[in-house]
A = this chain, B = another copy of it.
Amino acid sequence: MKSMRKIDRQMTAEETLGVLTKGEYGILSTIDMNGQPFGTPLSYVLKEDNIYFHGALEGTKLDNIYFNEKVCFTVVGSTKVLEDKFSTEFESIMAFGDASIIEGEEKLQALREIIKKYSPSFIEAGEVYINRAIEKTCVVRIKITHLTGKHRI
């Protein structure tokens, strides 16, 4: 992984983690067996060095992960078009890592973390929901190997 070309735009580790923790959604970049990249928007949760997301038991992004486990997960924080500067202020992070499908206790805990992030007022109902849906749900973990954040394009 190359270092950032414009070093003055690099965010601190704390700022980067802040954007990744608080983001409402991220874009998962994967590649299919024909070399076609895909960028899929997803809800997710960060837990330690792992990003977790869930979805259906089949689909293009799972096929892609089976083909190539290397992924990028991009989260954009606040943005502001500076009309008179011909520029845009923004903050964004890119997390690189390896994706794999998880099962068992880690899967259950990941779904609970997703409920805590997105439905903090519905923890009990969320537990019922998890019990009903867990067999029909796939949970993917991205083990982050490299994380960068920058302030501007």
Interface residues of A (CB under 8 A from B): 1-2, 5, 24-25, 27-31, 35-43, 55-56, 58-60, 68, 70-74, 76, 79, 81, 83-84, 86, 88, 90, 92, 94, 96, 115, 118-122, 125-126, 129, 153
Contacts and interface: CB of A to CB of B under 8 A. Distances in A.
Nearest to A27: B27
A118 B81 contact: yes
Contacts of A39: 27-29, 39, 72-74, 94
B118 A41 contact: no
A54 to B, nearest CB: 9
Chain copies in the assembled complex: 2
B86 A122 contact: yes
A70 B37 contact: yes
B76 A41 contact: yes
